[in-house]
Amino acid sequence: MGCQIAIDDFGTGYSNFTHMIHLDVDYLKIDGSIIQNILTDKNSEIVVRTLVDFAGQLNIKTIAEFVDSKEIYEKVKQLGINYTQGYYFGKPEESII
C-alpha cells in the first residue's frame, strides 16, 4: 500500500519492544521526556543508546523529539539518531489549508 508505520512517544506509557517486533515499524520516535534529560541524566543516555542500537539492528529509523538546543542536537547526532525535531529547529506552526 505504500504506507509506513511510526511508533510515537516510545519509552513511556504502553510502548514496548514487542510493538517494534510485531508491527514491522519503519520509524521510532523517542519520547521527548527522555531526550530532554540526555545531557544531565546518564540513565537517559543509556536508554537512548539502547533504543538506537536495537532499532538499527531491526532496520528502523529513529527520531528524537524535543530537541531544543544545539547541545542536545549534537548529542543525539553523536548517538546515531537519524532524525530530529524540536524548538531548536523551529516552533510548530498552524497549518494553512
Angstrom CA distances, 83 to 1, 60, 76, 77, 95, stand at 24, 12, 9, 9, 22
Q: How far apart are CA 45 and CA 68, in angstroms?
A: 16
- Please check whether residue 83 lies inside any domain of the structure: yes
Q: DSSP letter at 11?
A: T
Query: pTM value?
Result: 0.81
The grid coordinates of residue 67 equal 530537541
Domain containing 85 equals 53-89
Number of domains within the chain = 1
pLDDT tens-digit profile, the chain (97 residues): 787 767 665 665 555 667 667 778 889 999 899 999 999 999 999 999 999 998 999 899 999 999 999 999 999 999 999 999 999 998 888 887 7
- Please check whether residue 85 lies inside any domain of the structure: yes
